[in-house]
């Protein structure tokens, strides 16, 4: 069942999403060679709880930490660890979800650590473009297939692949609500969006194969070929004329 948010609920979504976004802004200066992903987890946890919110991933279906940290060949759901230490040339996705006033806000960004190979930098930039162009397709009356089609078109034209096993999702009082937002598809097909829906778009784009390899910890998802993967995520609100990015950060161009 897809929940259409009332104006009161939308105001609360704005608040939790703003906090999730500001957590990414807060953590950025700490992302440097020598830092462990557990240190990043602790800093994000403290920031979120100091703002009277709860980090949604913590204990979610048994997830043991407060954010997901996914470096390099990790597609998603990486578990922060003292043993994972960032080095020059790495990329790191940090996925933040906050629970504030009974509503979840979900956003992630792939950060560059020091000097990153131009080929990898391009993967990160194209992945961001996939997310932003997909967001632009959304308005009252548009379809979920429009999202997948544009992501596939942009990623595949560069020789990249789109992960299919993990999807965007409705979000609100629940972390993961209906509908599922698949990142591949056909323009003009699938569910029709209505104003007042809130959901995430969070494409995972791989340099090589789209195939995934779930680790024994039951969370960490690697690329099967161990080539690198990037991801960006925003929570958006469907409006009459388009959509509003509820997790937009000041550094981002509103009119991308
Ligand atoms: N934040 C992730 C998403 O975008 C979900 C993480 S689930 C967790 O949907 F348990 F790994 F935190
Ligand atoms: Co999400
Ligand atoms: Co997320």
Cβ of 90 closer than 6 Å to ligand 1, yes or no, is no
Interatomic CA distance for residues 17 and 40, integer angstroms: 20
- Reduced to 3 states (helix: H, G, I; strand: E, B; else coil), residue 143 is strand
Token duo for residue 176:
């993961």
Q: How confident is the model at residue 255 (pLDDT cuts 50, 70, 90)?
A: very high
Whole-angstrom Cα distance, residue 163 to residue 79? 19
Using CA atoms, how far apart are residues 237 and 138, in angstroms rounded to an integer?
A: 9
**Is the residue at 85 inside a domain?**
yes
**Residue range 135-163, pLDDT digits in tens:** 999 999 999 999 999 999 999 999 999 99
Residue 250 forms part of a structural domain: no
For ligand 1, is residue 106 a contact (CB within 6 Å)?
yes
pTM (two decimals)? 0.98
Percentage with pLDDT > 90 across the chain = 100
Distance 180 CA to ligand 2 centre (A): 10
Ligand 1 binding pocket includes 150 (Cβ within 6 Å): no
Q: Encode pLDDT of 30-49 as tens digits.
A: 999 999 999 999 999 999 99
CATH of residue 92's domain is 3.90.230.10
Residue numbers of the domain that contains 240: 7-245
Which of 74, 80, 106 to mutate to test ligand 1, by most ligand atoms within 8 A of the CB atom?
Answer: 106
For residue 240, being part of any structural domain is answered with yes
Report helix, strand or coil for 18. helix
245 - beta bridge partners?
A: 236
Q: Total structural domains in the chain?
A: 1
Q: How far apart are CA 76 and CA 93, in angstroms?
A: 8
Q: Is residue 253 part of a domain?
A: no
Structure tokens at 129: 């473009």
Residue 254, in any domain of the structure: no
Residue 97 Cα to ligand 3 middle (Å) = 6
Closest by CA position to 90, among listed 78, 106, 104, 107: 78
State the greatest distance between any 2 C-alpha atoms of the chain, in Å, as a whole number.
Answer: 48
- Asked, for residue 182, whether it belongs to a domain, the answer is yes
Q: Which tokens in the block code for residue 71?
A: 């470096």
Angle subtended at Cα 158 by Cα 153 and Cα 162, rounded to the nearest 5 degrees: 55
Q: What is the mean pLDDT of residues 229-249?
A: 98
- 255: in domain: no
3-state SS of 154-176? HHHHCCCEECCCCCEEECCCCCC
Q: Is 95 in the pocket of ligand 1 (CB under 6 A)?
A: yes
For the segment 189-215, what is each residue's pLDDT rounded down to a tens digit?
A: 999 999 999 999 999 999 999 999 999
Q: What is the pLDDT of residues 23-33, one digit of tens each?
A: 999 999 999 99
Spacing, Cα 108 to ligand 3 middle (Å) = 6
Given this model, what pLDDT does residue 46 score? 99
State the pLDDT at residue 80. 99
Of 68, 69, 202, 215, best ligand 1 pocket probe by most atoms within 8 Å of the beta carbon? 68
**Domain for residue 163, yes or no?**
yes
């Amino acid at each position: 069942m897809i929940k259409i948010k009332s104006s009161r609920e939308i105001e609360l979504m704005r608040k939790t999403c703003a906090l999730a976004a500001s957590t990414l802004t807060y953590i950025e200066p700490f992302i440097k060679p020598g830092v462990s992903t557990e240190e990043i987890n602790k800093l994000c946890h403290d920031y979120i709880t100091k703002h009277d919110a709860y980090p949604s991933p913590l204990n979610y279906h048994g997830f043991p930490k407060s954010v997901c940290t996914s470096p390099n060949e990790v597609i998603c759901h990486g578990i922060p660890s003292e043993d994972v230490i960032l080095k020059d040339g790495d990329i790191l996705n940090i996925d933040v979800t906050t629970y504030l006033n009974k509503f979840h806000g979900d956003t992630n960004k792939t950060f560059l650590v020091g000097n990153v190979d131009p080929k990898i930098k391009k993967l990160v930039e194209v992945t961001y473009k996939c997310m932003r162009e997909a967001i632009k397709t959304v308005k009252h009356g548009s379809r979920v297939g429009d999202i997948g089609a544009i992501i596939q078109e942009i990623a595949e034209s560069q020789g990249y692949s789109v992960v299919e096993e993990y999807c965007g999702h409705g979000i609100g009082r629940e972390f993961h609500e209906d509908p599922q937002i698949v990142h591949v598809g056909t323009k003009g097909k699938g569910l029709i969006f209505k104003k007042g829906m809130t959901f995430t778009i969070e494409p995972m784009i791989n340099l090589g194969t789209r195939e995934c390899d779930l680790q024994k910890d039951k969370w960490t998802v690697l690329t099967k070929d161990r080539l690198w993967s990037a991801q960006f995520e925003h929570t958006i609100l469907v409006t009459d004329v388009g959509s509003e990015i509820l997790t937009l950060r000041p550094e981002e161009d509103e009119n991308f």
